[in-house]
Structure 1
Amino acid sequence: MQQLRNLGPMRLAVIGGVAVAVLAFVIFLAVRFSGPEMGLLYSNLSQQDAGRIVQTLEQQNVPHRLGPDGTSVMVPLDQVPRTRLDLATQGLPTGGSIGYEIFDRSQGLATSSFVQNINQLRALEGELARTIQGFDNIRSARVHLVLPQRELFSRERQEPSASIVLRMNTQQRLDRAQVAAVQQVVAAAVPGLRPDRISMSDERGTLLARIDGSGGSGDLQTIEERRLAYQDRVARELESMLERSVGQGRVRVSVSATMDMARTQENRESFNPDQQVVRSTQTVNELSEQRDSDANPSVTIANNLPQGQVQVGQNGSSSVSRSSRNEETINFEISREVRNRVIEPGGLSRLNVAVMIDQNALVFSPDGTRAMRPWNEQELARFERLTRSALPFDAARGDTVEVIPVMMIDPADEFREPRRLFGLDRQELFRLAEVLVLGAVGALVLLLVVRPLIARLFETAPGAAAQPGMLGYGGDVPQLAGPLSTDLTVMDDDGGDPLEEMIDLNRIEGRVKASSLRKIGEIVEKHPEEVVAILRNWLYQES
């Protein structure tokens, strides 16, 4: 207790704080390393599934830890397979939807057909949602089916339809082939449902497929996909062509194509007067003969006979008139051209191409050594002409081609797989570093905290050297005989107590110099009996 009082309140507070910190650190280490290693049970769970799984694990007394986002659950690593099997027997996780297990529940005899139909629809929607969630990059799905019931005595029949809302794991979107695959899966599972009667959208509100069945070139989504596909195809072809001269992986091509999204219908009718074509020809030939007579012959049978006309002139005078008419009508048709032209959206209206090549050209010297040199202007101009010739380049519509040398970084150096140090992976290295750090902290605690505390317990109390009678100066304490007394006398005669000069307990706060300790040890070895007598006297005085 006297030693603790001599330390002072400030030092006691520091020692207490260090002791509390060390105790807390030891408790943390005990908890950290005493618990089992945790493994991932499920991730990307819905809030409903996560709550049910945690409740089930608590009922089974399985240690578990919930992730910070509340969508992942971890259990001891050796219990992961067993726990998954136990949860699967209970239908967990459900994926946020109910499937055919809805019919496993007890149904009362009074259940109506309406409830049965609704349960069947819910089960079908849930099973389809689970199937769609099996696709890559799809986190969750909601399926809504519209299955109209055919009414009695009705000839009209409505077609079923469906709508699907997808939630993606990443910022990527489904391409056209994946959207069509989802539509085919849903259409094949629902009787009478056609793929063009299924609409799809993602969580960002982007329409992936529509019900109107317009899958032609007029669909804006199809036009955008065609534009992206065209850009990728042109970029790959240009890179493949330029890499033969520049080098593998030393060229990058970016293509920006602008397509016309408007649908244009053009009707044109033209006439060419220089080109005449006979359409029809009409010819009329008319011949007429008229005979006039002055006398009026009597009406007899002879006059009415055909031969009587010849004899008319014998009885009286007559005149004969003949006329002919020839008419020809020719209808000409002027050359006429009628053109109906429909321009569907998706036509290329502008093309911009940027080519990046490594700023240094790889050349080989005659002796076979490799060297790097910058590209000159003639070589860059040749690359630009080569790129233009491989494109449908049209300067009139504003097409541009730029070839720029830049410093390029090898992707292999940027994304190189980290090396294994001493055959250990990253996780093993972290655990090894953690153990080393803990060992170093423990050693520092022993050296800086425990050792000074133990040393203080064995130090001489302050002021003990100044007590009278110590080491034989006055009082009833016996003095050391022999050489010890002589040495002490000589030291006292030199003027001043040398022990007081070497051991200033008030100045160094109870610490004794190493030289003084060695001298005291030598005295104890030379005169053990006298030292024992002095110690006994001290103990007697203390008591």
Structure 2
Amino acid sequence: MQDIKEQSLHFWHKLGKREKWIIGGSALLLLLSLIAWSVWWGGKPDYVPLFSKLDARDAGEIANKLKEMKIPYQIGDNGTALLVPSSEVYKVRLQLATEGLPRGGVQGFEIFDKTNLTTTESQSKVQYLTALQGELTRTIEQLSEVEKARVHIVLPEDSLYKKNEKPATASVLLKLRPNAQLDKNQMRGIVHLVASSVQGLKPENVTIVDTYGNILYDPAENPANPLSPAYTLTQLDLQKKVQTDLQNSAQSLLQQVLGPNKAAVRVSVELNFDQRTVDSKVFEPVVDERGILRSSNETSETFKGRGSQLPGGVPGTTSNIPGYPTTDRSESDYEKKEAVRNYEINERNERLTAAPGAIRRLTVAVLIDSNLTQVQQDGISKVVASAVGLNPGRGDVISVESMPFSTILSDAQQQEAEALRKAEQQKWMMAAAAIAALGAGIYLYRRRKKSQEAAMADMEAAFAETQPSVVAKQEPEETEEMAEKRRRREDIERLAKQRPEEFAQLIKTWLSEE
């Protein structure tokens, strides 16, 4: 920094008066220009965006409101943004929000705020559909990944016959933000949001596409649809996962007994993806009058007393017939009770739904890298069968064989590990050599620097002895000649510091000439 300052002063002293006046005037003119620009720019209002990414309708309405409010504004981003002074932006936003601006380019249920008595039923249906689409659009645009959205809903006409009814359908167009992407769960969420907001709309009748025409959600690829390819892939993934889990369970068990890389287990699983629902109705008899009494009927008859006397005669021929003697009727008792109770039959209704994914058949193959006896093979077979849950009743099979494993792969892995170990050793050796070389370089550099500093001190002392005029005491008033000598001395000192070897050679030349 001191050298730059000295060079600048040296350059300034060499300039003439004309050059000095030109440089000074230019600097003054530049300073005045900067001051004028700062004053002009500081007095200009700072415009900031009020709203951006507006459609033409919202931009026009907001511009008219700003004119009514007598607030200056600017148009930016090709008419999609409005800018106002920074001091007014929050006040304007609040005032426009009270009037429902911006509307986002879509109309929601505020379309019914202005009622018209002449509106027909068909017009009301169209307005309702427009409002529903607008509300769904606003809701979907709340997602951080979605920049713009548009929803189309098709509601079929009501039919008197069920067989003529057509399902409601919907499609959603999305414009995503840069570098944004929706995952499967988010897309399913949008689908169920739309389906739950429209009466009679099923999720399988909703499609989502982006602005590039790519199908983001296709009902045919819904994993819940048994006819979709995604459903088949889900089944294969589940089958593979079950196989891997059972295989790892058996493999880890054998490794603890036989050691690593001494056994190989492969499991093949056949899953049943049929979904069955069984409805059953079970009737049970009533035991010991345990049940719900549905109806009861009890009858009771009682009689006490003697038998009746023979009736007396009446005038006529029959009265002349003599009566026959009878025995006296003794006193008797009669009682009869009857009870009928009807109980509800014990009835139990059951619905059993079998979840898909049950194991239909299991096949296990085990290879052991050793010679085992039949007893040992049977023992390993029982252990592995228990580990994977083998069930012979459903046709599960297990096979255990012992044979020597190939060592080609293990030898190659060992050679590769040895090569990596050697490469690692070479890398550390090279790093150690580099560190040693760096240390030696630092040591030599410091040693050379010390020798140069010593030589520099000797040269400065010799130079002071041979040139006593250089270090002479300056007079209070420096003349032109003295200034020239001072500049030469400074040049010599700078040369000695920057290029000591050349300076030493120069001193040697001077001494030889003397």
* TM-score, normalised by the number of residues in structure 1: 0.36
* TM-score, normalised by the number of residues in structure 2: 0.37
